Amino acid sequence: MPGATVLLHQGETWLVGLTPDADDQALLAAAQGHGAVREFTPVVPTLAEIFREVVT
């Protein structure tokens, strides 16, 4: 899907990064096409996580 990148896949858990112009609802619809979606929520990094990413 354009604008989507799989960041993590563990068992039934998927973490997908989206570009600002990606359609999150299209991603949700595509996921639902493969089975039940139990949770679909944005994950926002903490300030500490952003800091660590910048300084390392």
**Predicted pLDDT of residue 38:** 94
Q: What is the pLDDT of residue 28?
A: 97
- Give the residue among 2, 23, 22, 35 at the shortest CA–CA distance from 14: 35
Q: Are 8 and 16 in contact (CB under 8 A)?
A: no
pLDDT band, residue 56 (cuts 50/70/90): confident
Domain tally, the chain? 1
Tokens 């300030």 correspond to what residue? Answer: 47
16-42 pLDDT, tens digit each: 999 999 999 999 999 999 999 999 999
- Kindly report the average pLDDT of the chain as a whole number: 94
pTM for this one?
A: 0.74
CA distance linking residue 22 with residue 31, whole number of Å: 15
Say how many residues make up the chain: 56
